[in-house]
């Protein structure tokens, strides 16, 4: 739509949310003793008044007195202040008042208004304001066009961008680098990278040199679409700038085995005398931490310090998170303190990572202390903060602690979400308060926070673990009433509960139901059934289940083999257990401490002490250190069967001389 056709888009000025009235026809008479106000005085007051209502009251008072007549500058100051507070109806009212007062409305004021609408996420209103420009006898410039295009881009109004750009060309205006960069971003947001590359070429032909933003926009989009190799080829012909390298490094880190390539790019930057910035280092550190190589992250961090690049909070938090994930709590806390000492300003995201890490590692007292310090420092805990704490107390079975945090959250006005409510269900179940847990789930729907599958899985697990399988089955049947569908975890918990009570037929019927509903039978499902059958002495059926899992493409793990080896040994079929141990090795699954313990226990129980000693010695030679369980088995068997500890002394000699 051409700008001259824009009158149809004019919108009526509504009553502003902050009421005020400028009445030039009923001005208060000026006292002869009152000095005329200077523009500088009015501007100073408007700029420094933090209360928007008082600023507007002062603006009105000045206008209705005869002390000062508002100018373009004072109108612009007030409009800017209102725009930053999203008082957009009041902004439109002032624009209309300017027109009535005959005050010139410059492009700077229109840019201020358009920017305010962009910040408020009201691109359509920004467009309508743009179409009012000619009503104020203000001719649009390239700068105004760029601002309205940017506002439209912020809300992905691609069709409107095309229309405005066509208007711009019909008005005879040449786009500048800012215009082209907005168009490049619009194309890349639509995944039209090829068109963006053609536009980049067009820029050069028209004498508009692309800048770092132009290049980075295209390279970033190519990397986002998985075209990292093509992005590297394109970048090889571009000026070497840090943002382009950062985009490439980020793209490499997102791909499999990409960290090695990212480090190659990093070395390339150094060779070309391009100083990596904090984004470069933080991107690499985050990637290596996600890959589990926290030691390498320390190497990169030390390089960062050596090159004089100051880290920020985004540099440290991945390291803190990874250390917590590995249970290295003291190291994580040390890195946190170093981060604070370096002057990094912490934020709520980083504090939530700290609290979550402490809770996951059972340091609940420290986590509560951090929460208290947050509140004292003016940081407002959010639902994520409270969720981590409640989940930590719930998993520790500390209902009192979970309830204390819950009450604190509700008192603070923070609305619980389904994650928090599920954690409370977990806390109640761990304390066998199943009626309360069930009631909480029932209340969730009425509080506009319906339970999800994880919530029901938490309740079902708690019920099955406590032997209330029938109740768990009723909860399973009620899931559909709450719009929840059972998943593999739901069935696994029920299977485990049924098999623990030797309700084998019901468990197998549930297994068939999973198949009928095309619910995935994963490794946990098969291991649960194999364990249940083995515990009931149904080893042949357990082996059949193992055969089915292999046919379905699920590979047995050490738990699968150890369960069956233990079952064979309990029945005295030690030769079968030994053969299965061999098949375990053939499948690429190495026997572990539990495997050896089961086999030695079986041999000892069936009076085959000499063979048990051979396996014991082979186990030690294989690099396993006997634990208390194995020593207890060997000592008890030797003493009860032979009445002498001489074989144990022999084993000790073998161990000392190995």
User: What pLDDT does 258 receive?
Assistant: 77
**What integer pLDDT is reported at residue 3 of this predicted model?**
36
Rg, C-alpha atoms of the chain: 36
Alpha carbons 318 and 284: distance in angstroms, whole number: 10
From the CB of residue 249, how many other CB atoms can be counted at a distance below 10 Å? 27
Residue 368 lies in a domain: yes
Residue 613 in this model has a pLDDT that exceeds 90:
no
Query: What average pLDDT does range 260-270 have in this prediction?
Result: 90
Task: Give the confidence band of 21 by pLDDT, cuts at 50, 70, 90.
Answer: very low
Task: Tell me, yes or no, whether 202 lies in a domain.
Answer: no
With vertex at residue 123, the alpha carbon angle to CA 122 and CA 125, rounded to the nearest 5 degrees, is 70
Does residue 503 lie within any of the structural domains? Answer: no
> Which residue in this structure is represented by tokens 């170093």?
338
List the single range of 51-55, 516-520, 603-607 with lowest mean pLDDT.
Answer: 603-607
How confident is residue 528, by pLDDT bands cut at 50, 70 and 90? very high
Among 451, 467, 502, the domain boundary falls at: 451
The total number of structural domains in the chain stands at 3
Q: Identify the weakest region by mean pLDDT among 62-66, 174-178, 409-413.
A: 62-66
Split at pLDDT 50, 70, 90, the class of 15 is very low
**Is residue 275 in some structural domain?**
no
CATH for 64: 1.25.40.10
Out of 400, 428, 451, a domain closes at 451
The answer to whether position 98 is within a domain reads yes
* pLDDT tens per residue across span 389-435: 999 999 998 999 999 999 999 898 888 899 999 999 999 999 999 99
Q: What does the pLDDT read at residue 652?
A: 55
Residue 523 has pLDDT above 90, yes or no: yes
User: Is 642 or 46 the better-scoring residue by pLDDT?
Assistant: 46
Please say whether the beta carbons of 147 and 122 come within 8 A. no
What's the whole-number average pLDDT of the chain? Answer: 85
**Confidence band, pLDDT 50/70/90 cuts, at residue 7:** very low
- The three-state (H, E, C) secondary structure of 78-95, written as one string: HHHHHHHCCCHHHHHHHH
416 CB contacts (<8 Å, ≥6 apart)?
383, 386, 406, 409, 410, 424, 449
Quick one: pLDDT at residue 653?
54
- According to DSSP, residue 176 is labeled -
Note the maximum CA span of the chain. Answer: 122
What is the model's pLDDT at position 5? 38
The domain boundary, picked from 114, 145, 171, lies at 171
pLDDT of residue 639: 58
Provide, rounded to the nearest whole percent, the portion of the chain with pLDDT above 90.
43
181 domain-assigned: no
Tell me what the mean pLDDT of segment 536-543 comes to: 90
Confidence of residue 31 (pLDDT cuts 50, 70, 90): low
Q: Which pLDDT score is estimated for 238?
A: 82
Q: How far apart are CA 502 and CA 531, in angstroms?
A: 11
Q: Range of 126's domain?
A: 1-171
pLDDT of amino acid 297: 93
The answer to the question of residue 298 being in a domain is no
> Is residue 642 within 8 Å of 610, Cβ to Cβ?
no
Is residue 126 assigned to a domain? yes
């Amino acid at each position: 739509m051409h700008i001259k056709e824009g009158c149809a888009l004019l919108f009526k000025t509504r009553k502003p949310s902050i009421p005020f009235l400028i009445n030039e026809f009923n001005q208060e008479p000026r006292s002869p003793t009152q000095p005329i106000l200077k523009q500088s005085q009015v501007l100073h007051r408007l700029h420094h008044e933090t209360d928007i209502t008082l600023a507007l009251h002062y603006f009105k008072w000045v206008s209705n007195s005869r002390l000062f007549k508002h100018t373009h500058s004072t109108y612009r100051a007030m409009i800017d202040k209102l725009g930053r507070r999203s008082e957009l109806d009041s902004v439109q009212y002032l624009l209309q008042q300017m027109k009535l007062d005959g005050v010139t409305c410059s492009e700077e004021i229109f840019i201020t208004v358009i920017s305010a609408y962009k910040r408020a996420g009201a691109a359509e209103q920004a467009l309508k304001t743009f179409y009012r420009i000619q009503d104020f006898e203000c001719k649009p410039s390239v700068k105004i066009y760029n601002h309205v295009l940017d506002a439209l881009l912020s809300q992905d109004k691609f069709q409107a961008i095309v229309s405005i750009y066509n208007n711009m060309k019909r008005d005879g205006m040449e786009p500048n680098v800012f215009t082209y960069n907005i168009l490049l971003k619009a194309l890349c947001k639509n995944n039209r990278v090829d068109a963006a590359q053609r536009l980049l070429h067009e820029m050069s032909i028209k004498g508009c040199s692309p800048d770092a933003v132009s290049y980075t926009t295209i390279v970033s989009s190519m990397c986002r679409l998985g075209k990292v190799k093509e992005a590297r080829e394109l970048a090889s012909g571009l000026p070497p700038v840090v943002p382009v390298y950062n985009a490439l490094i980020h793209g490499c880190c997102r791909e499999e085995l990409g960290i090695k390539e990212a480090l190659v790019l990093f070395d390339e930057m150094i060779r070309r005398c391009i100083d990596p910035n904090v984004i470069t280092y933080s991107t690499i550190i985050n990637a290596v931490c996600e890959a589990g190589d926290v030691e390498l992250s320390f190497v990169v961090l030390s390089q960062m310090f050596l090159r004089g690049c100051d880290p920020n909070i985004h540099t440290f938090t991945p390291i803190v998170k990874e250390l917590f994930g590995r249970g290295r709590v003291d190291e994580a806390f040390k890195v946190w303190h170093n981060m604070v000492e370096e002057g990094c300003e912490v934020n709520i995201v980083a504090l939530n990572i700290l609290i979550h890490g402490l809770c996951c590692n059972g340091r609940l007292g420290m986590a509560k202390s951090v929460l208290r310090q947050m509140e004292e420092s003016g940081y407002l805990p959010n639902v994520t903060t409270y969720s981590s704490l409640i989940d930590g107390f719930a998993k520790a079975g500390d209902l009192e602690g979970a309830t204390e945090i819950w009450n604190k959250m509700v008192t603070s006005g923070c609305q619980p979400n389904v994650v928090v409510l599920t954690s409370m269900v977990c806390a109640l179940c761990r304390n066998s308060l199943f009626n309360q847990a069930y009631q909480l789930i029932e209340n969730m729907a009425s509080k506009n926070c319906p339970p999800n599958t994880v919530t029901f899985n938490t309740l079902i697990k708690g019920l099955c673990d406590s032997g209330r399988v029938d109740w768990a089955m009723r909860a399973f049947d009620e899931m559909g009433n709450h719009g929840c569908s059972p998943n593999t975890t739901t069935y696994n918990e029920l299977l485990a509960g049924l098999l623990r009570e030797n309700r084998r037929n019901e468990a197998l019927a549930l297994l068939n139901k999973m198949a009928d509903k095309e619910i995935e039978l994963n490794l946990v499902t098969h291991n649960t059934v194999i364990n249940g059958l083995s515990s009931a002495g149904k080893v042949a059926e357990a082996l059949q289940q193992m055969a089915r899992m292999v046919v379905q493409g699920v590979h047995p793990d050490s738990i699968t083999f150890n369960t069956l080896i233990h079952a064979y040994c309990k029945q005295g079929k030690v030769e079968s257990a030994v053969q299965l141990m061999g098949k375990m090795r053939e499948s690429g699954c190495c026997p572990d401490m539990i495997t050896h313990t089961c086999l030695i226990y079986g041999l000892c129980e069936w009076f085959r002490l000499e063979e048990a000693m051979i396996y014991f010695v082979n186990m030690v030679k294989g690099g396993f250190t006997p634990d208390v369980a194995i020593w207890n088995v060997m000592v008890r068997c030797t003493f009860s069967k032979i009445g002498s500890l001489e074989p144990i002394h022999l084993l000790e000699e073998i161990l000392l001389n190995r």
